[in-house]
Amino acid sequence: MHIAIIGTGYVGLVTGACFAEFGVFVTCVDKDEDKIEKLKKGIIPFYEPGLDEIVKRNLKENRLKFTTRIDEAVNESLVIFIAVGTPPRGDGSANLEYVEEVAKEIAKNMNSYKVIVTKSTVPVGTGFKIKEIIKKNLEKPVNFDIVSNPEFLREGSAVEDFMRPNRVVIGAESDQAVAIMKDLYRPLYLIETPFVITNIATAELIKYATNSFLATKISFINEISALCELVGADVNTVAKAMGLDGRIGPKFLHAGIGFGGSCLPKDTMALLKIAEEKGIRLRIVKAAVEVNQWQRERLISKIIEAFNSNIEGKVIGILGLSFKPNTDDIREAPALSIIQSLLNKKAMIKVYDPQAMENTKKVFPNIIYCSDAYSVAEGADALVVVTEWNQFRNLDLEKVKKIMRGSLFFDFRNIYDPLKVRQLGFEYFSVGRP
Ligand code: NAD
């Protein structure tokens, strides 16, 4: 089977490479010429563990190709995935401009029956909008089906998530489209991945409901962390014991600086907007968003208060810039708001991240970029762990203490043992722990 993936970002490239790995012939399309030129040479434009290898292998075996020509890709493919970005607009709603642009392009180039699949995260009702756009822009009468197939992969473990997902969701209107999608995903069917076959609106909503629920779990434990600090309880133990309850589960219950990234902040806001347009307030999702903002501000205040509100000229070292480990993605990363707030108060900022420095340089060209965690610590008045990269979990804290100018240590991911860090002479602050 030949398929096309329009939009070769985190989701599109992983999807394309993994389908090629399943034996499908895949054409990945992007309008970014530079990106496509790099990919043709096997250069991956972002960091994602394991992706490099499968892109190179499938390029070599001619199952994967890259182009800027959407017309050719549409012509030769039976299934066309839309995987372009759906960034938030100023009011929080999803910007569908790229999706709609692609739908028009697909329509203009359709030469035979096609299944057009939305992989981008899109508001409920978008599938039908796409259908209308395609009908309106068809240049010759051809049949087509619309499918919603939301993606649940996580950056940092995207390949593994795509190859072994918890479930595959397919929202469709026709049996023919469902059969084609099942055929495409056959290798996952064979390993007994659960398939949820439903209508388009349900599939679209499943994605937003899932991400909003995950965001709610994080905000819930973060709110509890603030209470823990006031009553002398340990949030890690609270979360662990809660998570041992099979009805709750241990995942997404780690107190910290709150959620960031390109999905949870944007999808929670978009869901609120979708609901608002339908005349209903989603109170829990709204609270999850508010608590996330509050937790960020609360922890940033801890840094500022530790300097008696006078942080001018102080050297603050930031460990971790990406929104989570194993990615170079800094979209909505907590580190960005921490750095901005501290710069606003005229602090000096030193940073290190194993993968996300290049992206961060585009946002903050004038802060100090270091080669490792120890160079960040050197001469710093305070050190802040923002992203829990493995590289930061086992630092030689004795050495860190010696080379720092001050002794403030903010561990916003709770990766160190408070007692041990304090014994070394640090003034240690973590989240929700005595
Ligand atoms: P991204 O920004 O990394 O990639 C989008 C790509 O689409 C870019 O390379 C861009 O150049 C390309 N593009 C835009 N308009 C185009 C056009 N007209 N023709 C061809 N290419 C075009 O985005 P992403 O992170 O891969 O996210 C894509 C979608 O998947 C979003 O809706 C997102 O919410 C959803 N999603 C993302 C993740 C994630 O972890 N990143 C997970 C699940 C779902």
Decide whether 2-198 matches 296-429 in CATH topology: yes
Number of residues assigned to the chain: 434
pLDDT at position 51: 97
Q: What is the pLDDT of residues 156-198, one digit of tens each?
A: 999 999 999 999 999 999 999 999 999 999 999 889 999 999 9
Alpha carbon of 383 to ligand 1 centroid (Å): 34
Decide which of 1.20.190.20, 3.20.20.150, 1.20.1250.20, 3.40.50.720 is the CATH code for 2-198: 3.40.50.720
Alpha carbon of 419 to ligand 1 centroid (Å): 44
pLDDT at position 189: 86
Q: Does 119 show up as a binding residue in the annotation?
A: no
Q: Does 398 show up as a binding residue in the annotation?
A: no
The rounded distance, in Å, linking the Cα atoms of 59 and 57 is 6
Q: Mean pLDDT per segment of 10 residues, for the chain of length 434 residues?
A: 97 98 98 98 95 97 98 97 96 96 97 97 97 96 97 96 97 98 94 96 98 98 98 98 98 97 96 97 98 98 97 98 97 98 98 98 98 98 98 98 98 97 98 96
Q: Does 273 show up as a binding residue in the annotation?
A: no
Give the catalytic positions in this structure: 263
Instruction: Write down the ipTM of this complex.
Output: 0.99
Which atom of ligand 1 lies closest to the CA of 158?
40
CA-to-CA dists, residue 409 to 36, 247, 289, 364, 428, angstroms: 43, 36, 27, 23, 5
Conformation bin of residue 15: beta by default, left when phi > 0, alpha when psi is -120 to 50: alpha
Q: What is the pLDDT of residues 344-375, one digit of tens each?
A: 999 999 999 999 999 999 999 999 999 999 99
The rounded distance, in Å, linking the Cα atoms of 175 and 59 is 33
User: In the CATH scheme, what is the homologous superfamily, with its name and number, of domain 296-429?
Assistant: NAD(P)-binding Rossmann-like Domain (3.40.50.720)
pLDDT at position 58: 98
Q: Does 167 show up as a binding residue in the annotation?
A: no
**Which strands sit side by side in the sheet containing 64-67, from one edge to the other?**
64-67, 25-29, 2-6, 79-82, 114-118, 144-148, 168-172, 195-198
Show me where the domains of the chain are located. Answer: 2-198, 296-429
Which atom of ligand 1 lies closest to the CA of 119?
30
Best probe residue, ligand 1, of 5, 28, 30, 126 (max atoms within 8 Å of C-beta): 30
Alpha carbon of 84 to ligand 1 centroid (Å): 4
Torsion of CA 228, 344, 46, 6, to 10 degrees: 100
Alpha carbon of 130 to ligand 1 centroid (Å): 17
Best probe residue, ligand 1, of 5, 10, 148, 162 (max atoms within 8 Å of C-beta): 10
The rounded distance, in Å, linking the Cα atoms of 413 and 318 is 13
Which residues form ligand 1's pocket by a CB distance below 6 Å? 6-12, 29-32, 35, 83-86, 98, 101-102, 120-121, 151, 153, 155, 262-263
